[in-house]
Structure 1
Amino acid sequence: MTDKSDRIARRSVDKFALRRAELADSALETLSELGYARTSLREIAQKSNFSHGVLHYYFTDKVELLTYAIRRNEEVWVTRCQEDVASARSASDLKHGFGAAMAGTLRADAIMHRLWYDLRNQSLYEDAFRSDVLVIDERREATIWCVVERYANLAGGSPLVTRPVAYATFDGLFYQALLRHLAGEENAGSALEESVNLMLEHLVAR
């Protein structure tokens, strides 16, 4: 392949990837509003600027579309946590930064998180989702563990729990806060931030 044809091929791949991202972002509002079970590609097309045929060209079915959209937005959440870990210069900095980040994403991205939990629940019944959910869940677990280990290091201590337990703890706190936030409780975010700060301290022995 010549340099010119190689550049053309790369541009085609880039355009395809950008188009998929655009379609996924457009579909998220409908998916998150109605949930997986009540949403079809045709319905997504009706509520967006794209035709049903275009959606089918870029995504085989709504399973592929949904998992792609979740993975894409997962990158944003993971990056935020990684930045908090990298920028923290003390245990206190990391604790408060992580708590604020969890509360912030609860308020700003509640719809996306609701869609993630919907997908995770659906994977208990549909094999098509399971492998993707396990991959995403593993990455979320690794991200949380990175925070716990870094906090322990900055605090001069060591984690008191295993990686799965740490993840289950913070995931549970977030899920409960999400329910309260969606129910209209104004203090759900601040309560989550306080709980995250407190729990991070309890999970580490100094």
Structure 2
Amino acid sequence: MPRPSNTEERRQQIVDGLLKVMAERGYERASVGEIAKAAGLSPGLVHYHFSDKQEILLVLVEQLASRARIRVTMRLARVKGDDARAKVDAFIDAFLATGGDAAPSAVASWVTISAEAIRQPEVRAAYDRVVKADLEQLELLVAAVVGKRRARTIAAGLFAAVQGYFVLSASAPDLVPPGSAAGTVKRMAAGLLDTVEAREDA
């Protein structure tokens, strides 16, 4: 595999610098100088590689989405056979489970990105694409358990719970018992899926 170019390495350092600063201070207080400092570069190099702070943020949105997709793919690959319920749990685990692949700074940054999506149309468009793709994947997994008719409503509720845990863990971490998020949302999923299956069987 070829070695990344110096330009790619510098751009990645800058994106990682924004991630670090944003997780600690939010987007508004992530000045180019602070991003450069966190990246170990000069502000001039940040300006050389990116036209503005928003461009860095949009790259970060895509990278965080890509990392989340990789986690989902890896968790789904661990499910044996065609256990549809286990696949729903694996999806939830990919977003909320603690462990070696957990990324608290990414979660904190994602919460900030969701706030910026309200304020900035370009960020909203990128955010919408990511959330839509994630929600569609969860809907397909849920549909394999309960069928298409109720899958969207259940998937939206579960995904809202995931996003809610993101906000709580980033803004009020003391309110979330450590390691509780994935288990709680999986129990919610089981309750919703059981209810629908029971109605279908009645």
Shorter-chain TM range is 0.7 to 0.9
Greater relative contact order, per chain length (Cα 8 Å cut-off, separation 6+): 1
| Deviation of the 1:104 alpha carbon | 1.9
Please state whether the residue corresponding to 2:150 is helix, strand or coil. Answer: coil
Please state whether the residue corresponding to 1:123 is helix, strand or coil. Answer: helix
The alignment's TM-score, normalised by the length of structure 1, stands at 0.75
1:143 and 1:83 mapped to 2: Cα distance? 14
| Deviation of the 1:24 alpha carbon | 0.9
Distance change (3 Å), C-alpha of 1:185 and 1:81: same
| Deviation of the 1:179 alpha carbon | 4.0
Q: How many residue pairs get matched?
A: 190
Is 1:158 the counterpart of 2:173? The answer is: no
Percent identical pairs in the alignment equals: 19
Q: Tell which deviates more after alignment, 33-42 or 87-96.
A: 87-96
Structure 2 gaps of 5+ residues are 198-202
The alignment's TM-score, normalised by the length of structure 2, stands at 0.76
| Deviation of the 1:82 alpha carbon | 2.4
Amino acid at match of 2:177: N
| Deviation of the 1:121 alpha carbon | 2.0
Decide whether the 8 Å contact of 2:75 with 2:91 is kept in 1.
yes
Decide whether the 8 Å contact of 1:85 with 1:147 is kept in 2.
no
Q: 1:79 matched to which residue of 2?
A: 70
Q: 2:104 matched to which residue of 1?
A: 110
Please state whether the residue corresponding to 1:19 is helix, strand or coil. Answer: helix
Structure 1 counterpart of 2:183, from 179, 182, 193:
193
| Deviation of the 1:191 alpha carbon | 4.2
Q: Tell which deviates more after alignment, 64-73 or 123-132.
A: 123-132
Is 1:34 the counterpart of 2:25? The answer is: yes
What does the per-residue CA deviation read over 1:101-160, in whole Å, with 9 as the maximum and x for residues that have no partner? Answer: 33326993232122222222222222232222222222222232243234x2xxxx4145
Q: 1:122 matched to which residue of 2?
A: 116
2:86 and 2:75 mapped to 1: Cα distance? 9
Is 1:100 the counterpart of 2:93? The answer is: yes
1:49 and 1:176 mapped to 2: Cα distance? 33
2:20 and 2:38 mapped to 1: Cα distance? 9
Structure 2 counterpart of 1:149, from 125, 143, 150:
143
Distance change (3 Å), C-alpha of 1:194 and 1:160: farther
